[in-house]
Amino acid sequence: MIYFKIFYSTALLAILFYTTTILADDTLEASATFNITVVYPDVRKPYSTLFESIISGIKEQPKLNVQTQLMDNSMLETDILNSLRQESPDAVILLGGGRRALQEKINSLYKTTYGALFLSDHDINNGRYGISMTPDPTLLFSELKKIQPTVKEIHVVFDPKTNGWLVQRAIENTPNTGITVIPYEASSLQQAALIYKEIARNNDHINSALWLIHHDPTFDSKSLLPRILSDAWKYQQVVISTNPSHVRRGALLSLLPDSQQIGRDLATTTVRLLSGQKASPVTPMQSSLVVANLRTAKHLPNTIRLDQKTNFALTYPRASAND
């Protein structure tokens, strides 16, 4: 009996010690902060405001102590690397796509998260993490359904080596939204042009839309976009785009970058990497900032709720001073 009491007491103490240790480790991890450096390019306004806003969003993360390093084109690579060595950050967030050779060296030396640039399957295959400037297709489709509720199919032409990850994400995330994504793989601009023409002429545009992925080798804004939008107007085809500037030229809608939110998401990804938690390699940007073309909307059948105009972040055509 005495032996049992001793054994029981010893076991209880061991359990209490183990539990206390685990809780202490969890508390320590929860309260841990990390030192990071944000490296970003030296550009003029208004472009610099994008980076400033992203950095502001990063600084909202309480688990990060944030330092910044401006990357001037005139600065020597060794000077930037020496500056980082002195700061000795736990991780680096790289903003913008310039000076790729330097970025590769930084990536080899530090845990790195990329932002304020377009990321592709190539980046995922090379183990990079970051937030792509491409809008999340789920959010883009959701905004489309608000003004074009009859849309059930969304056609997209893409290079699988560049935007396969994005199209796959769209396919996986739309089954419960009433939308089916219909993908068309293309390997050249010429092949893509033929597919776009076929989609415009042979589809039921009452229930379908065309999704343009701007940052893709099978797409060209100068030669191909005018033809796509001309056919879309002729056949009353709904066109949405990852590029907000296409809305000014006639696409129905897109999403503007929410730079503050991009910063928050970059910070969250970085904390996950440093904490040993699971993080998605590359994710599209999250935004609810809708840019819409009201002239196009009025031209298309089944467009509703144009009184939503005040809910759009930006509309085209722009109102004149006399309006």
For each of the chain's 323 residues, which pLDDT tens digit applies?
Answer: 444 344 344 444 344 344 434 433 443 345 589 999 999 999 999 889 999 999 999 999 999 999 999 998 889 999 999 999 999 999 999 999 888 899 999 999 999 999 999 999 999 999 999 999 999 999 999 999 999 999 999 999 999 999 999 999 999 999 888 999 999 999 999 999 999 999 999 888 999 999 999 889 999 999 999 999 999 999 999 999 999 999 999 999 999 999 999 999 999 999 999 999 988 899 999 999 999 999 999 999 988 766 555 689 999 998 654 54
Q: Which two tokens stand for residue 263?
A: 């910063």
As a whole number of angstroms, the distance between CA 312 and CA 323 comes to 18
The full set of domain ranges for the chain reads: 32-117+260-285, 135-256+289-316
At 16 the pLDDT is: 39
Residues 6+ apart with CB under 8 A from 118: 97, 132, 133, 134, 215
Question: Is residue 243 classed as helix, strand or coil in its secondary structure?
Answer: coil
Report the topology of domain 32-117+260-285. Rossmann fold (3.40.50)
Q: Helices H, strands E: what count in the chain?
A: 12, 13
pTM of the model: 0.87
Task: Tell me which DSSP letter residue 311 carries.
Answer: G
For the record, the structure tokens of 237 come out as 């085809």
Start-to-end CA distance of the chain, whole Å, equals 94
Distance CA 260, CA 248 (A): 24
pLDDT given at position 13: 39
Q: Position of tokens 């491409």?
A: 134
Q: What is the DSSP letter of 206?
A: T
Provide the 10 A C-beta neighbour count for residue 270: 28
- Hey, what are 233's tokens? 């107007």
Task: Report how far residue 273's alpha carbon sits from residue 93's, in angstroms, rounded to the nearest whole number.
Answer: 12
Query: CB-based contacts of 19: which residues, under 8 Å, 6+ apart?
Result: none
CATH number assigned to the domain covering 135-256+289-316: 3.40.50.2300
Distance CA(196)–CA(13), nearest Å, equals: 71
| Common-topology check for domains 32-117+260-285 and 135-256+289-316 | yes
pLDDT at 31: 58
Cα 93 to Cα 112: distance, rounded to the nearest angstrom? 6
Please list, in sequence order, all residues whose beta carbon lies within 8 angstroms of the beta carbon of residue 108, skipping any fewer than 6 positions away: none
Q: Please answer whether residues 90 and 274 qualify as being in contact, where contact means their C-beta atoms are separated by less than 8 angstroms.
A: yes
